Structure 1
């Protein structure tokens, strides 16, 4: 990953320079990947009962 791409991802996530003091590159990458999943519609969502049975 290049520096410009990393900074673009930070801007897309709404992160500030101050936020980057607390985050690693890996954490920013994970946050970006998870943000792409926000609009995905799951057919079934687990409930507390499902977790208890697990």
Structure 2
């Protein structure tokens, strides 16, 4: 499963020397979040109020 995720992210064997398992798992989760359509997207005004 781990190697499948690496292939889906486009990582090479050389990249695996530089990255931890946790970082690769985080990259995979974030890549799946990129495809999600959010109903509300924060604007600069929202960040300023935060």
- Normalised TM-score (structure 1): 0.81
Task: Please say if 1:34 is aligned against 2:22.
Answer: no
Equivalent in the alignment of 1:52: 48
Could you say which residue in structure 1 is the equivalent of 2:14? 18
Q: Which runs of 4+ in 1 moved over 2 A?
A: none
Higher fraction of helix: 2
- What is the count of residue pairs matched by the alignment? 50
1:6 aligns with 2:2: yes
In structure 2, stretches of 5+ residues that fail to align are none
Per-residue CA shift, 1:5-39, capped at 9, x if unaligned?
Answer: 11111001000112112211000001111111121
Structure 1: gaps spanning 5 or more residues: none
